[in-house]
Amino acid sequence: MGSETESSEVRDLSLLKPNYMLLSLQRILVLTVILAGVILVVYYTPMPEAYFENCDRECHELDWPMICRVKLVIEVYKTLSKSCGSCTEKNGGDCPATCISADGRVRGVLSANRELPSPTLHVCHNDILVVDVVHRAPAHALSIHWRGQPQKETPFMDGAPMLTQCPQPAYTTFQYKFRASSVGTHMYHAHSAADAADGLSGAFIVRQSSRLDPLRKLYDVDDTKHTIFVSEWGHSMGPLAGVISSIPNAESLLINGKGNSSESPDTPLSSFNVEYGKRYRFRLAYGGGSKSCPIKFSIDQHVLEVITLDGHQIETEHVSSIEIGRGERVDFIIDAKRAPGVYKMKVMAVKSCQDNLDGMANLVYEKVEQKVLRKDEEAFDSNVYRELTTVSSDNCASENVICLNEVHATNKIPEELAAAVEEIVYVPFNYSTKQISAKRVESWGQTDGHRFTYPASPLLTQSDNVGENEFCSKEPGNGEECVHVKKVPLGSTVEMVMFDQGGESDHIFHLHGYSFYVVGMRELHRSFDKDTIVKMNREGNLFTKNLIDPVIKDTIVVPKFGAVALRFKADNPGYWLMRDERSTHWTRGLDFILKVGNQGDFVQAPSDFPKCGSYVGPEYFLI
């Protein structure tokens, strides 16, 4: 559009001046019609009838996002069903797809679509997922969390029970519908750790167009078959111990649902095929299990070039092994340049958590007949005895151990987060024990003195039904059970300083709704009170902070007697759980909720969204 002077000149020059007003109106009308058409088409797009796997495709930046309809039927099933035949025995042949062989022992599985682990979801960036969870497993109050997805447009699809939705009752269907807005290797799992340990967890991969992927030049192949999901597997199904001290040992580590044990050494293992001479991107996620010990992952004779953590790009590191905790994800590249053959892929639990807990899979070089040039077959670089760990803090000083605070992200931290932040939230956590009776001692976790419990109705969707008396007080508590909510203003820059005063073990926390910059991390070797920590942080003595290129994560291991500083911009309104990943069911008291913004800022759930709450009869006997 021209300015006023220009248009008056035009008027002077020409008698047949066009009517600009009419032209603009015409344009607006055409645009409105097109827009209305688009809205109409989107509105009346039928829900696709076809289920599952239709979204596993080559991603292209010009393609329309797809609607990926997935049906997950949750039921109690078992390993070694009839269809397995003798496939777990020596020379028993391949196990059919319908057989869950696990580690060769019979036990129940809380399965999705009778698969172990739950089916891997492969989608492209910005695809819309429509997941029908058909619940056929009575005795389980379900909700499925989509780890790695911020759920900005649909906070009520986050899958945190009593926060963002009612837990799903048996024999109902709950449909999750959200946009896969965050690229990377992620996971989905039942909120209850016991349910996830019994089989309800799987990998969730969000790919992007290769033209937009900054890492694309580093590898040749990113195959859906190269997804590695590791889970811890116990002897029996069912409720795990609720108290911290008596969690039963796990029995094996499964790679994509397969492993073996001393009793059944011939149970088939997972295989990953590669061709000599190509570079492969592998996507590794660790779902944890009954004990959720950290694991060490390695492939014999192969260097792992680590490229992402929790879906976020890092400056690549060449290592011989990776150590991660429950819920963490790592992408790495291997250069398939060893002498053709079969190499062992190994996972092992960290010894301080549990001894003798391991698992295995095979890396198989295909087309062995292919001529291999001797000069290409470089000797395995024995100098690469480096380990990348997000877990250990004992060996960080060693040159061969790269700890999380020594890893650099590819992108710089935004300026506003590198500067002084607006809100600093201190989160001390600890344990309490109480003699309940002569024989029974009860033990629980608490943050800031508050022992977390869930409200009786979901905070996001039924805040009116949650009484003021259910919430924790603002002041540090004395171990009373309450709904622990920490308020953060919408749009503010936040630093969260979490520190362990209990010294029981290391801890893993996962924040819903956000990824954060890990700006500080250290071990303190003993308990410090909150005031001292506040003072040390203010004076800059608590951490040597990385305010240049810290890694971005959504899951963080806090070392035993350690402290971490996490920064993020609170731009996603809602109630977001900071989850203690080692709780065996829903909570053991250590969790808390971040309330970002106020009720008016929250995206509202549909009006027919399921509701739930307590029922307590009338106030007087008959009325």
Query: Which residues contact Cu ion by CB under 5 A?
Result: 147, 512
Q: Both tokens of residue 92?
A: 């028993």
Residue 314 CB, shortest distance to Cu ion, in Å, is: 20
Residue 145 CB, shortest distance to Cu ion, in Å, is: 6
CA–CA dist 357, 571 (Å, integer): 41
Strands of the 304-309 sheet, one edge to the other: 252-255, 227-233, 279-288, 329-335, 304-309, 312-319
CA–CA dist 72, 189 (Å, integer): 12
Closer to Cu ion by Cβ: residue 147 or 567: 147
DSSP state of 57: S
The phi and psi torsions of 549 (rounded to 5 degrees) equal: -140, 55
Closer to Cu ion by Cβ: residue 182 or 264: 182
Residue 579 CB, shortest distance to Cu ion, in Å, is: 7
Closer to Cu ion by Cβ: residue 147 or 553: 147
Closer to Cu ion by Cβ: residue 159 or 359: 159
- Cβ contact 560:503 at 8 Å: yes
List the one residue out of 167, 169, 116 whose CA is nearest residue 145.
167
Residue 140 CB, shortest distance to Cu ion, in Å, is: 20
Residue 572 CB, shortest distance to Cu ion, in Å, is: 12
- Cβ contact 278:307 at 8 Å: no
Closer to Cu ion by Cβ: residue 327 or 520: 327
Residue 71 CB, shortest distance to Cu ion, in Å, is: 22
Residue 93 CB, shortest distance to Cu ion, in Å, is: 40
Strands in 180-292 per DSSP E: 184-190, 201-207, 227-233, 252-255, 271-275, 279-288
Strands in 320-367 per DSSP E: 321-324, 329-335, 342-349, 358-366
Closer to Cu ion by Cβ: residue 107 or 486: 486
CA–CA dist 547, 252 (Å, integer): 40
List the one residue out of 43, 33, 111 whose CA is nearest residue 76.
111
b (16+ CB within 10 A) / e for 371-397 = ebeeeeeeeeeeeeebbbbbbbbeebe
Residue 554 CB, shortest distance to Cu ion, in Å, is: 6
Sign of CA pseudo-dihedral 575, 578, 584, 587: negative
Neighbours of 452 (CB within 10 A): 26
Closer to Cu ion by Cβ: residue 149 or 447: 149
Closer to Cu ion by Cβ: residue 252 or 447: 447
Residue 147 CB, shortest distance to Cu ion, in Å, is: 4
Closer to Cu ion by Cβ: residue 80 or 193: 193
